[in-house]
Structure 1
Amino acid sequence: MVLPWGCRMAAGPPGPAARHSPAVLAAAHTDGSPARSALETAMHGLKQALLQIWRLTYPYYTTRETTEVRLWPLPAIRMQERWIALLMAATVIGIEFAQVAINVRLSYFNRDWFNAIQGKDAAAFWSLLFSVFCVWAAVYVASAIIQYVIQSFLRIRWRAWMTRHYVDRWLGGDAHYRMGFSGAQTDNPDQRIADDIDQFTQTTQSLAISFLSAASNLISFSVILWNISASFTVPGTDWHVPGFLVWGALIYSGLVTWITHRIGRPLIRLNFEQQRREADFRFSLARLREYGEQVALLGGAEAEKASLRGRFGALIANFYAIVDRRKKLAAFTTSYQQVNVVIPYILVAPYYFAGQIPLGVMTQTAGAFARVESTMSFFITFYVTLADYKAQVDRLTTFDASMERAVAMGAQSRLRVAPRDGGALHLSGLGLDLPDGRRIAEAQDLTLRPGETTLLTGPSGSGKSTLFRAIAGIWPFGEGEVATPAGARLMLLPQRPYLPMGSLRSAATYPDASGRHDDAAIREALEAARLPHLAGRLDEDAPWAQTLSLGEQQRLAIARALLAKPDWLFLDEATAALDEPTEAALYRMLRQRLPDTTLVSIGHRSTLGAFHERRLDMTPREDGRFVPTDVRAPVAAQ
């Protein structure tokens, strides 16, 4: 699947066709041994993981978006974001390589310094300390500080770019709405955008630098170790093995790495599950806060306690499983790290005691062996980090795939919404399906005329709200065409309005963020919607969804409509929480203040008929599908 900026994103694990492709089958029959099969599985898993990381990383470092950057005291300049990112990344990597070179130089300083100690050469001791060690140590410290600053700025810019693009994709094309129908792993998108992106950018950067450092250390110190042990024989024998210590470090590290993976492999699955359960528990608490009044009215505290205990218990159970697995891994890696302190000295000691090498060469050899062995053990050192990282990559990858499926769902829908010349709104050949494929309603030829108020009635589950969603262009299941008036502004008010976080002003003018409505107009709209007590609180920040009753929220949505002045206003039981006199007063007010707006309402109250010129009733056919049918309605109230 292709992302908007041109890279390809994996849609998840390979399907059956991929798993049974000729290449895979050929590989499977090459060697039937368990060891071969395990190795192939591990290599395939590594390849897939690297591809996932590449697909998540590639878009930022190839983006052609331009931005402004300023490096004090130079003036600000505009350039492509990718060049800023690549320049900072190259600088960080260059400093890392320079630090490896400094460590190599200090390795020779260490050799000469200990030889001076062994030879009681005070002049050489002090000269090496001040002319070599102090100089290079100061350069190392300064470079480390510069590297940290650049690395931090790179991480901030990368996270900001990824967050912005994920939010754009999540909200674009109503993907956030359709993802609920995609059947994909889309739990807690807030955590994936807020936490997983942050952790991904930080860990990717850290692991990449650590890996490059390990690789350069491995090459540099392997050369030192190979040259030192070029003439060594296997202790206790006359066998001459070129680069004896290098091979020893390689075999030792490979064995320990394999054991570490066997012990820690379950951590990948456990970490993924822990992040999901943590997010579920946090979401449950936030949802309880949002619906606190309803829970209190129903006396649901005990039920909520049981639910929270269950979710938290699952979280804790998985955490204990992680602790148990990390305990085993820590027992092995800690033992391994303790043994590492003496292993190189044990290997080199026979040559030192035999007088083949001086003390300085012994310490340099031990240091070089430790460097080579530790870089070969990169996998062991970062195993827990890698397990956490794999979970982050999986969560972002599945989130990507879910958004792509949601976008594809809209693109593949046979239900089309398009503007058409003329003032009427026309439905032709419309069939509305549920997500499971069952057809719920049809409208083969229905026209809503401008200026004619219409009331849509029918039993619950007959497809009234679904019809409104189809007209709004967000319902992807079905077929047919919805022709909307060209250039007309449509607005839909649901039964439970959405109130964003922030000031009352932003809640009253949502989704218009242009600031084109002055305070006087907003206050007038609130008073007309029978909310005069809120007119003086425009600058107040509050959780309005919890502060206002449902009736007040519905009246606030009416005030939005007064400010927006749409050409067509669809009210999906948007006054159901109000008493009948207030509802009647608001409908009269809407007719007076929005005379050019066509009202289309969904409602169950018989009193609503007096405020609409036309009534459509969702009536069932013999096949169980509902169709909108004209019913004689009373003359609309003035």
Structure 2
Amino acid sequence: MQRLKQALLQIWRLTYPYYVTREETEIRIWPFGTVRMQERWVALTMAALVIGIEFAQVAINVRLSYFNRDWFNAIQNKDAAAFWSLLFWVFCFWAAVYVASAIIQYVLQSFLRIRWRAWMTRHYVDRWLGRNNHYRMGLTGAQADNPDQRIADDIDQFTQTTQSLTISFLSAVSNLISFSVILWNISASFTVPGTDWHVPGFLVWGALIYSALVTWLTHLIGRPLIRLNFEQQRREADFRFSLARLREYGEQVALLGGGGAERASLRDRFGALIANFYSIVDRRKKLAAFTVSYQQANVVIPYILVAPYYFAGQIPLGVMTQTAGAFARVESTMSFFITFYVTLADYKAQVDRLTTFDAAMDRAEAMETASRLAVAPGRGDALRISNLRLALPDGREVAAVDDLALSPGETTLLTGPSGSGKSTLFRALAGIWPFGEGEVRTPEGARLMLLPQRPYLPMGTLRQATTYPDASGRHDDAAIRAALEAARLPYLAARLDEEAPWAQTLSLGEQQRIAIARALLAKPDWLFLDEATAALDEPTEAALYRMLRQHLPDTTLVSIGHRSTLEAFHQRRLAMAANDDGVFVPRDVRHEPVAAQ
């Protein structure tokens, strides 16, 4: 019972935000045209209409139950006039109403599902990418594997399954109440077969006991499916991600001759996927053997229960068929859990994946809130760092900065051994590193830009890759081409509208020059380069640094690098040196800069 409450609470937490959102939207309503209203009222109105139609369809089925009784009585009495009258004036009319309502309900359900999925997708994408949660989630070690699948697949399946299960459950409840009344009234005078023992509502109690027994047995057989389905989704996503990652790093794998290792890794992942799938097949086989047998028995059980009363002449044929139909309806609604057991097992896995995704984002947000590392605009033009302590995710302190000021216009080079915290310091300056404490005051009103060693190139055209992350379209073709030519990529200037997997098409050196072109277009006040030219040869690197000084004379450059040749392009050098406790601190190293003209 506790697990059921927990599962229902999880579903409620995932569902509730959409139906109470106050976001405004536009919806076209005939014949009133476009109407602007809050999304929650659109959702609630559609949901109410879908549920109302479902209840109306139950009422139609109740009416057709009485039609079925009267029709078979007419057949038994050879009453042709009643037979044809019931067929045309009762059955045809209500059947037509039922078909029309089913079409309207389907359309409303589809629109509701699309709007719900669109809202949840926007909500999750905004939260995942907002406040750099996607980055911090990778630092927490939380169970949030394959966020792409959770957003693209799990949300779609969750909205669809929640909607269908809710409608099915409400239909089952209304059917249970309606047809239980019919069944209770029919069996009011029945006795237990072979005895004079009178049991009010004998058939209702029989259906209840029968359904409870098979529901319990179904749960015992199918319970492992919940865990197996969750594991299957995770392994499917891992295998798909491995293939995508292999495509992205195809050149590196080929150069290292890693085809054999990758084949072995893919075989292992796919083998684990298949092994789990076989476990699902074995469990579903056992469940299907039971449920199919149960469904076949359902066809004859109600007739067996009422046959003695029919043969004794206590009920006519129409009442017998109505009783069998009502019993089948009551029993099937009581067996809701059995009918949807496999669906419920899949659904529980979807809910768990979205819940753990939410929890991972909660932890990422809490990590930011709990961080004692403050990054905020300060007074003046300098960038100031005070009492800064930087740690790794495991808590080990890696770098410390007691008091450091970077002056505008003064180019600075940060050097030091690998693992000394140089890139971590840059991440702290960018405001994305949560582990540590201290204060970073950025220049008031200044625009900062950081270029990492491996640039990110989005899917799309070369124009989008070059202007990323600026999607405003404010850069004209001439400016973009000029930036590419200045970054020593003139052969790409004519391919702005070409779509290609640029992250795989271009070498790392070319990708780094794309990032340099972005900086030329963005014209930041401060430009941080984290080994952003490490893949280039020294003459090209030198040419690009000279070009940056010419094209961005008002931009302050701060670089991380290992090459001694970079000193010529910087006026100040900071070297990360280890203290006695192993913590690295930046120390000024005097040198005579060479004019970078």
**TM-score above 0.5:** yes
Aligned mates of 1:216, 1:381 — CA distance in 2: 17
Q: Is structure 2 residue 406 aligned with structure 1 residue 448?
A: yes
Structure 2 stretches of 5 or more lacking a match?
none
Q: Is structure 2 residue 342 aligned with structure 1 residue 384?
A: yes
For the residue of structure 1 that corresponds to 2:440, the secondary structure is strand
| Residue deviations 1:269-321 (CA, integer Å, cap 9, x gap) | 00000000000000000000000000000000000000000000000000000
Aligned mates of 2:546, 2:591 — CA distance in 1: 17
The aligned residue for residue 143 of structure 2 is 185
The aligned residue for residue 292 of structure 2 is 334
The aligned residue for residue 484 of structure 1 is 442
| CA deviation after TM superposition for structure 1 residue 183, in Å | 2.2
Aligned to 1:279, which of 237, 243, 251? 237
Over the residues paired in the alignment, what is the CA RMSD in angstroms? 0.5
Aligned to 1:626, which of 568, 584, 590? 584
| Residue deviations 1:63-112 (CA, integer Å, cap 9, x gap) | 00100111234211100000000000000000000000000000000000
Aligned mates of 1:315, 1:621 — CA distance in 2: 49
Q: How does 1:364-375 map to 2 (within 5 A)?
A: 364-375=322-333
| Residue deviations 1:224-251 (CA, integer Å, cap 9, x gap) | 0000000000001111000000000000
The aligned residue for residue 8 of structure 2 is 50
Aligned mates of 1:307, 1:150 — CA distance in 2: 46
| CA deviation after TM superposition for structure 1 residue 636, in Å | 3.8
Q: Is structure 2 residue 145 aligned with structure 1 residue 145?
A: no
Aligned mates of 1:66, 1:418 — CA distance in 2: 33
Paired AA for residue 351 in structure 2: V
Aligned to 2:486, which of 528, 542, 545? 528
Q: How does 1:164-313 map to 2 (within 5 A)?
A: 164-313=122-271
List structure 1 runs of 4+ shifted beyond 4 angstroms: none
For the residue of structure 1 that corresponds to 2:37, the secondary structure is strand
Aligned mates of 1:110, 1:255 — CA distance in 2: 30
| CA deviation after TM superposition for structure 1 residue 632, in Å | 1.1
| CA deviation after TM superposition for structure 1 residue 566, in Å | 0.3
Aligned to 1:595, which of 553, 564, 571? 553
| Residue deviations 1:318-342 (CA, integer Å, cap 9, x gap) | 0000000000000000000000000
For the residue of structure 1 that corresponds to 2:45, the secondary structure is helix
Aligned to 1:583, which of 538, 541, 547? 541
| CA deviation after TM superposition for structure 1 residue 637, in Å | 2.5
For the residue of structure 2 that corresponds to 1:78, the secondary structure is strand
| CA deviation after TM superposition for structure 1 residue 207, in Å | 0.1
| CA deviation after TM superposition for structure 1 residue 519, in Å | 0.5
The aligned residue for residue 102 of structure 1 is 60
Structure 1 stretches of 5 or more lacking a match?
1-42
Q: Is structure 2 residue 519 aligned with structure 1 residue 561?
A: yes
The aligned residue for residue 18 of structure 1 is none
Aligned mates of 2:141, 2:502 — CA distance in 1: 32
For the residue of structure 1 that corresponds to 2:314, the secondary structure is coil
| Residue deviations 1:474-519 (CA, integer Å, cap 9, x gap) | 0000000001011100000000000000000010000000011010
| CA deviation after TM superposition for structure 1 residue 182, in Å | 1.6
For the residue of structure 1 that corresponds to 2:582, the secondary structure is coil
Aligned mates of 1:296, 1:494 — CA distance in 2: 25
Aligned mates of 2:221, 2:444 — CA distance in 1: 64
For the residue of structure 2 that corresponds to 1:229, the secondary structure is helix
| CA deviation after TM superposition for structure 1 residue 418, in Å | 0.8
For the residue of structure 2 that corresponds to 1:230, the secondary structure is helix
The aligned residue for residue 43 of structure 2 is 85
Paired AA for residue 273 in structure 2: L
Aligned mates of 1:240, 1:422 — CA distance in 2: 94
Aligned to 1:123, which of 43, 67, 81? 81
Q: Is structure 2 residue 325 aligned with structure 1 residue 363?
A: no
Paired AA for residue 256 in structure 2: L
Aligned mates of 1:576, 1:75 — CA distance in 2: 59
Aligned mates of 2:311, 2:444 — CA distance in 1: 94
Aligned mates of 1:290, 1:420 — CA distance in 2: 41
Give the length in aligned residue pairs.
596
| CA deviation after TM superposition for structure 1 residue 633, in Å | 2.0
Q: Is structure 2 residue 381 aligned with structure 1 residue 461?
A: no
Identity %: 86
Paired AA for residue 142 in structure 2: A
Paired AA for residue 226 in structure 2: I
Aligned mates of 2:530, 2:140 — CA distance in 1: 25
The aligned residue for residue 389 of structure 2 is 431
